[in-house]
Amino acid sequence: MTAKILDGNALSATLRQSLHERAAALAAQGCRPGLAVILVGENPASQVYVRNKIKACEAVGVHSEKYEFPADTPPEKVLSRIAALNADPKIHGILVQLPLPPQFDENAVLEAVSPEKDVDGFHAENVGLLAQGNPRFISCTPYGVMEMLRAEGVSLRGKEAVVVGRSNIVGKPMALLLIGASATVTVCHSQTRDLAFHTRRADVLICAIGKPKMITGDMIKPGAVVIDVGINRLQTGPDAGKLCGDVDFASAREVASLITPVPGGVGPMTITMLLANTIESADRAAGK
């Protein structure tokens, strides 16, 4: 079997068209959606992500503001910017790009963002609401994965779903969403004893490990749906400098029924769902 490729760019383009219309309708009512992005330090990957988020805002008519701080900024300075943005009626979403430099208590920063503007869904209150099955904001990457599965008509009820990775950003919220969709969910991580035993049982396999090409075709059940969240830059070999996922695409594609590529799979969906959360937040502010 050669898997069908799930095109995140195409789905994003469709979704962004309707987001553009929603943003224009809000703007016409005097409530143009606004997103503030905070970047601390000079991490090159974070700089690229932030640039792409700002560009995407412009393309769908969402107002954006970027606040950049040098790596040695005292945390109080960032916290006071967050407090000002919490109180700013033009801003409906606040995103603090992670990771933060070591002098920062990451949780303290995430908790400082108003839960009503936490479009990343990282505030403890929003994580709690998601765990209760009553989400306010769903973290953008797992939200994007669920949208891809929905758009493709993948049913999750009673399915074996295996999530590889237990991060707060992807693995944990992903597992909660899959439970909410009535899948039977297994979460694997770096201490899992026999990873392949678990991955081979997966009808739906979500890979969010951050290790290039770690999941190979022999670890995949024939006909499985494979979602690759990894974005890794190859350091050596003939493809050095190129992006690749956590899944070895060439071998996995011969076994799976559906698979996401890297780049062009989950990546664009993450930014699309950030726009969706920001517009949803503006809808709430406008009393819709």
Q: Applying CB under 6 A, does 36 fall inside the site for ligand GUN?
A: no
> Chain centroid to CA 72: how far?
27
Residue-wise DSSP of 143-206:
HHHHHHHHHTT---TT-EEEEE---TTTHHHHHHHHHHTT-EEEEE-TT-S-HHHHHTT-SEEE
Q: Applying CB under 6 A, does 96 fall inside the site for ligand GUN?
A: yes
Place of tokens 């309707």: 18
Q: Applying CB under 6 A, does 95 fall inside the site for ligand GUN?
A: yes
Determine the Cα–Cα distance for residues 41 and 23; give it in Å rounded to an integer.
Answer: 31
Query: Do residues 104 and 113 touch, judged by C-beta distance below 8 A?
Result: no
Nearest distance, CB of residue 200 and ligand GUN, angstroms: 28
Please identify, among the stretches 10-18, 24-32, 93-101, 224-232, the one whose residues bind ligand GUN according to the rule CB under 6 A: 93-101
Please identify, among the stretches 60-68, 90-98, 197-205, 220-228, the one whose residues bind ligand GUN according to the rule CB under 6 A: 90-98
Catalytic residue among 97, 117, 228, 248: 97
Tell me how many residues contact ligand GUN (CB under 6 A): 8
Q: Choose which of 5, 27, 79, 98 interacts with ligand GUN (CB under 6 A).
A: 98
Determine the Cα–Cα distance for residues 62 and 262; give it in Å rounded to an integer.
Answer: 26
* Cα angle: 106, vertex 108, 112; to 5 degrees: 115
Nearer to ligand GUN, 138 or 169 (CB): 169
Nearest distance, CB of residue 60 and ligand GUN, angstroms: 18
Determine the Cα–Cα distance for residues 137 and 277; give it in Å rounded to an integer.
Answer: 7
Nearest distance, CB of residue 174 and ligand GUN, angstroms: 12
Please identify, among the stretches 91-99, 192-200, 222-230, 252-260, the one whose residues bind ligand GUN according to the rule CB under 6 A: 91-99
* Cα angle: 220, vertex 222, 258; to 5 degrees: 85
Q: Applying CB under 6 A, does 169 fall inside the site for ligand GUN?
A: yes
Please identify, among the stretches 4-12, 92-100, 126-134, 208-216, the one whose residues bind ligand GUN according to the rule CB under 6 A: 92-100
Determine the Cα–Cα distance for residues 270 and 245; give it in Å rounded to an integer.
Answer: 15
Question: Which residues are CB-neighbours of 27 under 8 A, at least 6 positions away?
Answer: 33, 61
Active site residue 97: yes
Catalytic residue among 120, 203, 228, 246: 120
Interface characters, 123-152, with ligand GUN (x: CB under 6 A): -----------------xx-----------
The residue nearest ligand GUN at its CB is 98
Active site residue 120: yes
Active site residue 283: no
DSSP one-letter code for 215: B
Interacting residues toward ligand GUN by CB under 6 A = 95-98, 120, 140-141, 169
Active site residues: 53, 97, 120
